Structure 1
C-alpha cells in the first residue's frame, strides 16, 4: 500500500499543476508507472474516487476559487484554461457541483468572512449553500486584534519532508507516519524541530474529506531520498501575511478567516502558492489544549 500511495501522490501533484494539459487515463497512468487498467483501480482504492471524477472536481474547485477571488478575470479565460471546450459545458458541470451557474456564483461569492457549507437536504441530496459566519466583521476584527499578531513577512524557501493526507481526519495519521520516519533518521525528537501543515486545497471550495493537507517537517536541506509515503516538498520564498498566536484547534478556522479578512481590508491579494501553518508547540502538552501557531498566507 505504501508504494501505491507514493505513486498516487506523485500523480496528484502532476494533475494539480497541469489541469490545462492532457489528463487522459493513458497519460496519467504513464506518470504513475502503472498500466491504465491497474492505475484506474489503484487510484480509486487510495483516493476513494475515480480518476475522471477527481480531475473534474479539481477543475471545478479551481474555477470556483478563481471566480470568487479574481473577479476581474474573464469567464472565458477561466474555462478555456481549465480545458472546457465551451461555456455551456463549463456552466452545466459547475452548476452540478455548486448549485449555481458560474456567473451567479461570482455575484454571490462570499468574501473572506463567508464560507461554503454542504448540508443534507430533506430529500437526501447534498446542496451547496452559502452561510455567513455568525460573528460580524467588527467582532471578527476585534477577535483578531486580541488573539493574533499580524504582520507582513518575507519568508525564506523551506525544504520539507511531507506525507499527504486526503481529508482532515487523515492529518494526525500522516504526522504519525512522518514522525516514525524521522525517528529512524534521528531527526526527531529535537527541541527546535518545526512541524508544518501545507494546504493544497481550500475548505471554501473542497469538501473536508477531500482536502489535501501535507503533514510536513522542516529540514535543514532538501530531502534527496524519499522513502515510502514520505516525499520532498518545497515552500517558495516570498511575501506572506503571518498571523501568530496561542490558539486551540477550534480557533483555526477563525484564524484563517481573520487573515483573509485582514488581507482584503489592507488591499492585498493572494499569490498562487499554498498557505501553511507552522507549529511552535504541541497542544497535547498544554492543559487547555492551546498551541503557538504561525498562520502564513502568501500574497503578491
Structure 2
C-alpha cells in the first residue's frame, strides 16, 4: 500500500512541478514506475480524470494564477509557457473552467488572489487532494479483496470461434451472431458453454466506437474454415493471472485496474498478448445485473 501511495503522489507532484514542459503519458508513467497502459487506467480510476484532463486543468489553474498576480506578463507569454499553441485554444479552454475570457478574468481577479491561494493551502486543501487519491487506492484494494479471487494459473491452448466487433456498442450483436451460429450446429448449451471477449485495441488510444472487441466461444476442436462471419482463432497456451468474481458491468473497470495493481505488486509482467474476459453466467438473468466473470491477463 505504501508503495502505491508513493508512486501516485510522485507522479502528481511531477506533473504539478513541470506544467511548463511537455508532459507525455510515457514520461509520467515512467516517473510512477508503471507501463503507460497500466498507469493511464490506474490514474483515471484514482483521480477521476485522465492524465491529459488533469494536466490541462492544472495548466489552466496555473495560468489563472499568473493572470491574477503577474499582470506585467502578456497573455500570450502565459499561454505559450503552459503549452497552448494559440490564443483561440487557450481562450476557449480557459472559459470552460472559469466562465470568462482570460483578459476578463485578469481584470476582475481580486488583489488578494495570492492570499486566497495560500489560505486554501494552509487549510490543507492540497493535502486533502492527495489524501483523497490515497483513499481511492485503499478503497480499490479493499474492494478487490472483497470481490475478486486472484490467482496465477497455466492454461492450455484454447480453440475459439470468433466474430469481430468494431465498436463497444456492437459487442452484443456479435455475440448474438455467434450464439445463433452455434445453435444451428448444436454446439451451444447454456449449461457449459464459455463465452469470451478479447480486447484487440486499447481504449487509451482507440475511440470506443472503433475499438475491436472480438466475441468468442470456446470450442472442443479447432474450426476448420470460416463460416459466414464466424472464423477461427486461438489463444496460445501459457501463464495467466485470473481475477474471478461475481460483478456488474459497472465493476469491469475496477476489476481490470485491480489486476494491473496486483501484477505490479507481485513482480509479474504482462506478455504481449491480448487480455480477455470469460463469462460463466448472463447478467440479464440476474436480479441485480451480476455475472460471474474471469478477467485474464497473459503474463511472463
TM-score band, normalised by the shorter chain?
A: 0.5 to 0.7
Name stretches of at least 5 consecutive residues in structure 1 with no aligned partner.
Answer: 1-99, 125-131
Work out whether residues 25 and 51 of structure 2, in 8 Å CA contact, stay in contact via their aligned partners in 1: no
1:113 has 2:51 as partner: no
Q: 2:290 matched to which residue of 1?
A: 290
Separation in 2, partners of 1:282, 1:259: 22
TM-aligned CA deviation for residue 104 of structure 1: 2.9
List, as ranges, runs of 4+ consecutive aligned residues in structure 1 with deviation greater than 4 Å: 116-119, 121-124, 132-135
| CA distance 1:261–1:216, shift in 2 (3 Å) | same
| CA distance 1:118–1:216, shift in 2 (3 Å) | farther
Work out whether residues 163 and 214 of structure 2, in 8 Å CA contact, stay in contact via their aligned partners in 1: yes
Q: 1:217 matched to which residue of 2?
A: 217
Separation in 2, partners of 1:161, 1:190: 16
Name whichever structure is richer in strand by fraction.
Answer: 1
Q: 1:29 matched to which residue of 2?
A: none
Name stretches of at least 5 consecutive residues in structure 2 with no aligned partner.
Answer: 1-20, 30-35, 45-49, 54-88, 94-131
Name whichever structure is richer in helix by fraction.
Answer: 2
Aligned pairs for 1:124-139 within 5 A: 136-139=136-139
Aligned pairs for 1:167-182 within 5 A: 167-182=167-182
Work out whether residues 166 and 211 of structure 1, in 8 Å CA contact, stay in contact via their aligned partners in 2: yes
Please identify the structure whose Cα radius of gyration is greater: 2
Residues 89-110 of structure 1, C-alpha deviation per residue, up to 9 Å, x if partnerless?
xxxxxxxxxxx96x73311236
Q: 2:119 matched to which residue of 1?
A: none
Helix, strand or coil: the match of 1:273? coil
Work out whether residues 159 and 222 of structure 1, in 8 Å CA contact, stay in contact via their aligned partners in 2: yes
Q: How many residues align?
A: 193
Aligned pairs for 1:18-37 within 5 A: none
Give the root-mean-square deviation of aligned CA atoms: 2.6
Separation in 2, partners of 1:185, 1:252: 32
Work out whether residues 242 and 294 of structure 1, in 8 Å CA contact, stay in contact via their aligned partners in 2: yes
Q: 1:248 matched to which residue of 2?
A: 248
Q: 1:260 matched to which residue of 2?
A: 260
Residues 118-139 of structure 1, C-alpha deviation per residue, up to 9 Å, x if partnerless?
87x9959xxxxxxx98962221
